[in-house]
Structure 1
Amino acid sequence: MSKREGEGCPRKKKTDSVQKDNCDPNQKVNLTVNLSSPVIDAFKVFQLELDTKHDKYERLVKLSRDVTIDSKRSIFLLHRVTSVSDVEEVLAEADVKLGGVRQKIGLIAEELRGEDLYQFHRAFTPGIQEYVEAVSFHHFIKHRTLISLEDINAKLLFMKDSYSKESTEGQQPVAAHQVLTFQVTPTDYLLGVADLTGELMRMCISSVGNGDMDTPFQVSMFLRQIHDGFSYIGNTGPYEVSKKLHTLRQSLSKVEDACYTLKVRGSEIPKHMLADVFSSRASMIDQDEGVA
């Protein structure tokens, strides 16, 4: 029995022919945008808010950089106390410089008026940490104690003049005094104190080179107290704080090593050579701990 024609063979599916688009590619499409649309108005508001925020952020970064530079200059000035006879003169000059730093912090407080502090915190935190380091270094040299967060914030009060407009023509705007405050956050305070330990270690080495044998033991006792306080925080605090704990331990070990050398070999080594001995031993400690 012959097979029917086409039996056993797959049927061919008929495909619909696709009609080509006859549109001219060079033809321009007229799109009309309604500029008075509520969506366009909303995006204009968003654009203005973002531009204002970015401009304020950049101004805060520049102010923070100025605060950092002036604070470092104050720290460099304070290191002169180990080589001069009149310590009070150096402290008074540094106090004037720190007053100028506070005026720049006042500009930061003015920029943050009515704003969320933590929204712009990353912009100015480096400068505030450097200021805390400088003012705590000044306080330690003068009082041999650690300045508290409350004492730092107590000096960050600023008087600003705000002018009220009068509706009557011919009258001058009336000036009104307004008090602005800037509050250093606990995290910035801890990070500044952690950086202070490095400056104290440098002051300890310099004081020994100039014949001062009492400062290393005072600094050593102070650094032990700081280390004990940071040990309570440990890894439960902010990441930056636990990260700087290693540097704090390095500074403490160098100062303790200096005190040990003074006690054991202080009578053997001439005073003018003690600073070189401490510097060489400090570099050996860095190499043993893998610090570049």
Structure 2
Amino acid sequence: MANTNIPDIFSEFQGFMSNEQESREKIRNTVKDIEQQAREVLAILQNIHLETGIRDIPESCVQARKGFENAKAKYSELSEIIPDGQFYRYHEHWRFVTQRLVFLISLTIYLETGRLATREEVAQVLGMKTDRKDGFVLDLEDYLVGLLQMASELARFAVNSVTAGDYTRPIAISKFVTELNSGFRLLNLKNDGLRKRFDVLKYDVKKIEEVVYDLSIRGLCPKPPAVASEPGEIAAGGSKGDNEKV
């Protein structure tokens, strides 16, 4: 007996494929908007590498935050498009731009506070979650790749800080990136894209160490303040006796 249901079956397939294509098109258009926001924020934060950009860091961070708010709104739109439980089916569409935004957000938070941005902080800036069961999440690998990109940017910033006459900043950057490197070494990374990206970190660390070493041999490293050995001693270097009248 002929199977009279074949046309109906394939008609159903066509409906599924059409819906799939429509969803992907919506995703691509929304991701393009997010990419545009990321490019604009990147352009803003590139100002830190200019000779006069260091003094404008607070304003650059304020402007970057506005860009993150715009990106957050677009991620909210994106989350509405993705069917429940199918996040990783479409994840490739926004993986790279998310990694870039993690890098930009982490860089901004470092410039503001001098510390490492947590995954939860970055996710909050983008309106994402960190647990898969909550739906639209900030993938852990995307977060880690973004941190590695930030380290490379800080290595560049260390060099340009010296050019701008800021000899203290490279020392702080060196300490921060060295600690970040130590953290990554605690992870058992597989031989994949993340592992290859992590391999670049050792060159970033070396580059920054060379900057600090060069400052040291030139006598440009700021000297730490002296610690008073007894009450009344002047921390700036003078002894108690120097400040007493006979």
TM-score higher than 0.5 here?
yes
The C-alpha deviation readout for 1:183-204, integer Å capped at 9, x for no partner, is: 2011111111111111111211
Quote the Cα distance in structure 2 between the aligned partners of 1:97 and 1:75.
10
Aligned residue number for residue 192 of structure 2: 239
**1:99 and 2:53 aligned:** no
| Sequence identity (%) | 21
Does the 8 Å contact 2:71/2:126 carry over to 1?
A: no
TM-score normalised over the length of structure 1: 0.66
Cα contact 2:152–2:201 (8 A) shared by 1: yes
Please say if 1:124 is aligned against 2:94.
yes
CA distance in 2, matches of 1:78, 1:245: 23
Residue 43 of structure 2, aligned match among 76, 88, 92: 76
Q: Is the 8 A contact 2:87 2:136 kept in 1?
A: no
1:253: which partner in 2? 206
Give the SS at the match of 1:155. helix
- Asked whether the equivalents of residues 57 and 111 of structure 2 are also in contact (C-alpha less than 8 Å), the reply is no
Listed one character per residue, the Cα deviations across residues 85-141 of structure 1 (whole Å, up to 9, x for unaligned) are: 343222111111121121222221121152511111111111111111111110000
Structure 2 counterparts to residues 248-287 of structure 1, below 5 A = 248-266=201-219
Provide the residue aligned with 1:47 in structure 2: 14
| Other-structure match for 1:30 | none
2:167 matched residue in structure 1: 213
- Give the 3 Å change call, closer, same or farther, for CA 98–186 of structure 1 in structure 2: same
AA aligned opposite 2:199: H
- Secondary structure of 2:115's aligned partner: coil
Q: Which runs of 4+ in 1 moved over 4 A?
A: none
Structure 1 residues 234, 256: CA separation in 2 closer, same or farther (over 3 Å shift)? farther
Query: Alignment partner of 1:120: what SS?
Result: helix
Check conservation: 1:156, 1:183, Cα contact below 8 A.
no
Question: Are residues 1:56 and 2:10 paired?
Answer: no
Which is further off, 51-60 or 95-104?
51-60
Which structure 2 residues correspond to residues 146-157 of structure 1 after superposition, within 5 A?
Answer: 146-157=116-127
Alpha-carbon contact 2:87-2:135 (below 8 Å) kept: no
Question: Is the CA contact 2:68–2:125 (under 8 Å) kept in the aligned structure 1?
Answer: no
Q: Equivalents in 2 of 1:115, 1:210: separation in Å? A: 50
Match of 2:81 in 1: 111
Equivalent residue number for residue 106 of structure 2: 136
Is 1:63–1:124's contact at 8 Å kept on the other side of the alignment? Answer: no
- What are structure 1's unaligned runs of at least 5 residues? 1-33, 159-179, 268-292
Q: Does 1:227 align with 2:197?
A: no
Query: What corresponds to 2:139 in structure 1?
Result: 185
Contact persistence 1:75–1:137 (CA under 8 A): no
Aligned equivalent of 2:231: none
Output the amino acid matched with 1:219. Answer: I
In structure 2, how many angstroms separate the alpha carbons of the residues matched to 1:129 and 1:60?
Answer: 17
Instruction: Give me the whole-angstrom Cα distance separating, in 1, the residues matched to 2:159 and 2:124.
Output: 33
Deviation at 1:77, TM superposition (A): 1.3
Preserved CA contact (<8 Å) 2:75 2:127: no
Residues 68 and 126, structure 1, Cα contact 8 Å, conserved in 2: no
Structure ranking higher in strand proportion = 1
Q: TM-score, normalised by structure 2?
A: 0.77
1:208/1:51 Cα in 2 relative to 1: closer, same or farther (>3 Å)? same
| Deviation of the 1:143 alpha carbon | 0.6
Deviation at 1:39, TM superposition (A): 1.9
Please tell me whether the aligned partners of residues 157 and 181 of structure 1 are also in contact (alpha carbons under 8 angstroms): no
Q: 1:77 to 1:264 in 2, by over 3 A?
A: same
Partner Cα distance (1:117, 1:55) in 2: 16
Q: Deviations over 1:146-192 (max 9, x none)?
A: 1111112223449xxxxxxxxxxxxxxxxxxxxx9732011111111
Distance 2:125 2:149 in 1: 21
Q: Secondary structure at the match of 2:189?
A: helix
